[in-house]
Amino acid sequence: MNTIGQKEIRTQENVIVFFKEELGYDYLGDWHHRQDNSNIEKALLTNWLKRHGYSDQIISRVLFELNKAATLAGSQTLYGANREVYNLLRYGVKVRPSADKKSDTVWLIDWKNPRNNDFSIAEEVTVAGKNTKRPDIVLYVNGIAVGVLELKRSTVSIAEGIRQNLDNQKETFIRPFFATAQLLMAGNDAEGLRYGTIETPEKQWLHWKETERDPETTDNPLLSELGQFCEKARLLEVLRDFIVFDAGVKKICRHNQFFGVKAAQAYVKRREGGLIWHTQGSGKSLTMVWLARWIRENGNARVLIITDRTELDEQIEMVFNGVGEDIYRTKNGADLVRSLSDPRESLICSLVHKFGRSGEMSDADVETYIDDIQRNRSDVLQPSGEFFVFVDECHRTQSGKLHKAMKTLLPEAIFIGFTGTPLLKSDKPRSLETFGRYIHTYKYDEAVADKVVLDLRYEARDIDQQVTSQRRLDQLFELKTQGLTDIAKAQLKKRWGTMRRVFSSTDRLNKIVADIEFDMERYPRLKSGRGNAMLVSDSIYSACRLFELFQRTELAGKCAIVTSYKPTPNSIKGEETGEGLTERLLKNEIYRKMLAAHFNQSEDESAGKVELFEQEVKGRFVKEPGQMKLLIVVDKLLTGFDAPSATYLYIDKHMQDHGLFQAICRINRLDGEDKEYGYVIDYKDLFRSLEKSIKDYTGEVFADYDKEDVAGLLKDRIEQGSERLKETREQIKTFCDQVDPPRDQDAYRRFFCAAESGNDAQLEANKLRRVTLYKRIGAFLRAYANLANEMGDAGYSDTESQQIKAEATYYENLRQEIQLASGDYVDLKAYEPAMRHLLDTYIRAEESQTLSAFEDMTLVELIVEQGDVALNQLPESVRNNETATAETIENNVRQVIVEKTPENPKYYEELSEVLDTLIRRRRQEAIEYEAYLARILDLTEKISQSETQGAYPPEIRSQAQRALFDNIVPDVSGLQETDNARKAQMALTLDETILRIRRDDWRGHTLKEREVRRAIEKVVQAELGDNAIDIDALFELVKNQDEY
């Protein structure tokens, strides 16, 4: 029989048969013409209560309380009435048999024994109201209408059934009937089932997915999903454990939340901890809430939730209070210690207050929190009960310290980590030793497929920059730095000769501002005020400069900076040099003006209101997007900030891994029909990082770890750290032994600076000694810092720990004294205004260009790919002039060589020499133009082929590997430049080590850079011994590789 397009009544008949024969529900009949149909069928409920031994008097009181709760009278809303009914279903009806007796709890549903309940369905249930309506199928448990199902034929969209459910809840129709409803469904044979609860908007109705499908399940998607969701035990479990009333919105679980909690329950029962990874935007917070509620209802269990997000801390309190369950939010460490010993508080929240720059937990925040706990520990106050500790955002490295401290406080506790980002393979050792295996995962692509979050669209934009006069720039630099030593000049160049500084030039920032201003007018969602945008800047200084520029546009008053900066007197202490505004002074000035304008107060009055300012602009951004169209951020609000209106994310900051993925997830929240995607606008060529992040978050590098993986990880890490500390400590001591006794200040100055004060020749002659001193001290201090909090675990006694700490302070002071005495120290603040002036004056930026699949190639690559076609794309004025064409090609080739030389100095320096020869010959007109073009094309092919000229062993494949291979030419040891096998093996070892060690956003972050440098040094020492290669030069080479 052909069932395609069959009538709705046929689908309904099939569903009824399925409920009766497969699910075991009683069929109450067709109630089309039945009178007084109700959401509380008195006779059915009375019969069930009588069978459970309740008297007529008790039953009468129960019916009275239930009807009172379900009545929408006066100002009572559907949400309010439904919540009161749910509380009676979930926690029972408190009834006093008589005035002189205590209250008994009468259960309307036997939650523990699903089979002891009466499950039934009725079809075509006519319900009287302002306008009569007739739901297709109503599900009853013990006579209480807990579910409504609307069905459509397979050729009619399931959306029609959803809208029918929503219409029925209107005051115009049968709203009071839904006071008892817990589960609303719509379905057809083609699309299957969608579900929600009361007042759930159409776009937020959910699709149930079973992770392990029963092979006997029917192939019909509607019946299959009804069987999975409405099976008696499953239905009651969802109603009891997976519904919540959250800030005026009733919510029911998604499938990932249900199965995540179920998996965690199994771990809890065998007293094992682990990790739950549910991608950003998939409801991780409510998963925590539902799991916590289940745990505390089973035995003597107590739950401690640790978070660094005030919003989650408040949400958890609100959710539990909303269902009549108390949660205690601790005020500080002392209060936490006290509450742990008080068994009355079975659910506790503890907030790690943030004071750091990024808006996330920092080392200092965690240490302050731990110190507060340790100070207030008492042998008298012992934790009471069986504890389960939840840690939010557990992928952060600081969670290891937090875990260790909490283990000391609660040694028998079970720890469960929650994260919206995967713990990548590079994080494996620390994550495993801290929490254990993955309990459940819900990856990004799954959430997109389920329409839980939106997919993203990506656009790369490029703002070309050029130095207008290299000669004048160099001359001014020399004039401004007269009197500095070479080492001091090098420090100044190192600080200002970075791409971040170049990207922060005023002309370039102006182009970004113009870009965004234009987008606000051309993109409908931004123009209408329904959506808004976030701009991620690479520094607080750049964020302030951008804000200042936006004040000259129509976005003035509708944009704000949200960072961790506070314009306090301490923030500019010691900044005044008399040479102009430093970056800190400028930040302070812009922030004070912004706050004063917002509060319409003087700068002094408003300067202390940063937190209130942030709260107000965030509120406007979320609730009034047309009035707060742009937030400029650096690190803050890139995690844990849900703003459905945010549609566009402009990124002008190098990001990767966790940081990049969490940032783009700010714009993937659902928000009405006109928001189809989140849009990423990228000014920093992050596509490769973005592509990698998406793959990581969809599971391509996902690794499941077994229990045995955990063994030995902590021991190995500490042993290695201890060995490195011993090694660097011995190196600096041995080096300083060369100084004549008594090794006081004068002796050190004579040895490292000059025997005769003021003797420039001696000062220059001792430059190498000083450089070595700085390196050795730096290595020792890094090794100590990495182990400072675990000296006891590393086997050091308290006395030894204090001795090493004193040595670290001594050597740090020695380094500062020698830098000052030699003139190597440079006060970078004094040069900031001048260096900023140089960049702003001599760096010009072009209008941004949108890069397509071909347009993001350089001119060199276009020439190779397209030959003469590329030349024909040049402007006519250039194309018709042979000299101009040649110079254009030369300049682009030179640009590529200059840009790529830091990636592989040896290779590109050779190409540079070839180019210089060609240019000299062309200028001498020694070769014909056509021959010249042929030779220059040959050169561009070499560049574009990225060193793939057959000179490399076959295992050396990537650009980074080739750069390492070319530049491993030791000054000592037996390794020769031609020893390709050993060079290849070492390059591969370095490449694998760097990819494993390097962390998100490691460039420019002192601690993260130290980790990478230390890893490189360790490989070199293992392969070649000490002093074989200039580690600093190799580290700079690594920093210039895009792959890292």
- Tell me which H or E stretch contains 286: helix 284-296
Backbone angles phi, psi at 138, to 5 degrees: -120, 135
507-697 shares the fold of 253-449: yes
Report how far residue 391's alpha carbon sits from residue 435's, in angstroms, rounded to the nearest whole number: 10
- Residue 604 corresponds to which tokens in the numbers above? 């002094």
Residue 51 in tokens: 């069978």
d(CA 219, CA 255): 20
pLDDT in tens, 543-602: 999 999 999 999 999 999 999 899 998 888 877 666 567 788 889 999 999 999 999 999
The token pair at 964 is 């390492």
Banded pLDDT at 863 (limits 50, 70, 90): very low
CA pair distance 803, 178, nearest whole angstrom: 72
pTM: 0.65
Q: What is the pLDDT of residue 87?
A: 93
Predicted pLDDT of residue 491: 62
Q: pLDDT at residue 869 above 60? A: no
- Supply the pLDDT for residue 596: 96
* Cα distance between residue 631 and residue 546, in whole Å: 11
Give pLDDT, residue 940. 64
How does pLDDT run across 382-423, given as a tens digit for each residue?
Answer: 788 899 999 887 655 445 566 677 777 888 899 998 887 655
Single-letter amino acid, residue 406: M
Of the candidate ranges 113-122, 614-623, 1001-1010, the one whose mean pLDDT is the lowest: 1001-1010
Query: d(Cα 502, Cα 467) in Å, to the nearest integer?
Result: 10
pLDDT at 218 over 90: no
Separation of alpha carbons 1022 and 835, rounded Å: 41
Query: In the chain, what's the furthest Cα-to-Cα distance?
Result: 117
Domain 507-697 fold is Rossmann fold (3.40.50)
> Minimal CA–CA distance to 206: which of 168, 277, 240, 256?
256
Nearest of 1029, 1027, 995 to residue 1011 by alpha carbon: 995
Letter for the amino acid at 39?
Answer: N
- pLDDT for 556: 93
CA distance 178 to 164: 13
- 89: pLDDT confidence band, cut at 50, 70 and 90? very high
Residues 145 and 53 sit within 8 Å (Cβ to Cβ): no
Query: What are the beta bridge partners of residue 93?
Result: 106
Q: Which percentage of the chain shows pLDDT scores above 90?
A: 34
The terminus-to-terminus CA distance of the chain in angstroms comes to 62
pLDDT of residue 971: 44
Q: What is the pLDDT of residue 363?
A: 60
3-class SS string, 351-391: ECCCCCCCCCCCHHHHHHHHHHHHHCCCCCCCCCCEEEEEE
Rounded to an integer, what is the distance from CA 252 to the centroid of its chain? 25
Average pLDDT over residues 18-28: 97
Residue with tokens 């069932």: 3
Distance CA 516, CA 6 (A): 52
% of the chain surpassing 70 pLDDT: 71
Instruction: Evaluate if residue 712 carries a pLDDT over 50.
Output: no
Residues 813-829 have pLDDT tens digits of 898 888 878 877 765 55
Residue 435 vs residue 722, higher pLDDT: 722
Which pLDDT band holds residue 645 (cuts at 50, 70, 90)? confident
3-state secondary structure of 140: strand
Written as one string, the DSSP assignment of 460-480 is EEE--EEES-HHHHHHHHHHH
Question: Do residues 758 and 823 make contact, with C-beta atoms less than 8 angstroms apart?
Answer: no
**Residue 418: CB atoms within 10 Å:** 26
How many CA within 13 A on the CB side of residue 962?
22
Higher per-residue pLDDT: 30 or 675: 30
Long-range contacts of 719-723 (CB under 8 A, 24+ apart): 719/794, 721/783, 721/786, 721/787, 721/790, 721/794, 722/787, 722/794, 722/795, 722/796
Q: Where are the domains of the chain?
A: 8-240, 253-449, 507-697, 714-825, 857-944, 959-1039
Question: Which of 314-323, 819-828, 875-884 has the highest mean predicted lDDT (pLDDT)?
Answer: 819-828
Mean pLDDT over the full length of the chain: 79
Tell how far CA 425 is from the center of its chain: 17
Residue 398 has what pLDDT? 45
- Res 600: pLDDT: 95
What is the tens place of the pLDDT at every residue in 846-860?
666 664 333 333 333
Rounded CA-CA distance 278/287 in Å is: 9
- Residue 671 pLDDT level (bands cut at 50, 70, 90): confident
Q: What is the DSSP letter of 740?
A: P
Taking CA atoms, 152 is separated from 95, 169, 417, in Å, by 43, 19, 43
Burial class (CB in 10 A: 0-12, 13-18, 19+), 767: middle
Is the C-alpha dihedral spanning 588, 538, 555, 649 positive or negative? Answer: negative
| Order of strands, sheet of 192-196, starting from the edge strand that comes earlier in the sequence | 26-30, 119-123, 137-141, 144-151, 183-188, 192-196
Q: Measuring CA to CA, which residue among 795, 806, 775, 805 is closest to residue 723?
A: 795
- Give yes or no for residue 80 having a pLDDT over 70: yes
Sign of torsion over alpha carbons 970, 973, 977, 979: negative
What are the backbone angles phi and psi of residue 458, rounded to the nearest 5°?
-120, 135
CB-CB neighbours of 864 under 10 Å = 18
| 137-141/144-151 β-pairing | antiparallel
Q: Return the SS3 of 651.
A: strand
Mean pLDDT of 638-649: 83
User: What's the number of CA atoms in the CB half-sphere (13 Å) around residue 612?
Assistant: 9
Residue with the larger pLDDT of the pair 30 and 878 = 30
Residue 306 near residue 390 (C-beta atoms within 8 A): yes
Query: For the segment 508-551, what is each residue's pLDDT rounded down to a tens digit?
Result: 888 899 899 989 988 888 988 899 999 999 889 899 999 999 99
45-54, 335-344, 563-572: range with lowest mean pLDDT: 335-344
DSSP-derived secondary structure for 591-604: HHHHHHHHHTS-HH
Among positive and negative, which fits the CA dihedral 745, 751, 754, 757? positive
Spatial distance between the Cα atoms of 764 and 932, rounded to a whole number of angstroms: 46
Instruction: Label each residue of 773-841 as H, E or C.
Output: HHHHHHHHHHHHHHHHHHCCCCCCCHHHHHHHHHHHHHHHHHHHHHHHHHCCCCCHHHHHHHHHHHHHH
For 269-281, write each residue's pLDDT tens digit.
999 999 898 887 8
DSSP string, 143-172: TEEEEEEEE--TTS-HHHHHHHHHHHTSTT
| Residue-level pLDDT at 497 | 47
d(CA 506, CA 686) in angstroms, rounded, equals 22
Backbone dihedral angles phi then psi of residue 172, each to the nearest 5 degrees: -65, -25
More confident residue, 846 or 354: 846
pLDDT over 70 at 832, yes or no:
no
The number of CA neighbours under 13 Å toward the Cβ of 1036 is 11
- Higher pLDDT: 782 or 215? It is 782
HSE-up of 892 (CA within 13 Å, CB side)?
23
Over range 457-484, report the average pLDDT. Answer: 66
Radius of gyration over alpha carbons of the chain, in Å?
34
Q: How does DSSP assign 946-983, residue by residue? A: TS-SS-S-TT--SHHHHHHHHH---SSSS--TT-HHHH
Class of domain 253-449: alpha beta
Q: 């830098």: which residue's tokens?
A: 819
User: Can you say how many angstroms the Cα of residue 693 is from the centroid of all Cα atoms in its chain?
Assistant: 11
Q: What is the pLDDT of residues 969-1019, one digit of tens each?
A: 654 444 555 577 888 888 888 888 888 888 766 777 777 888 888 888 888
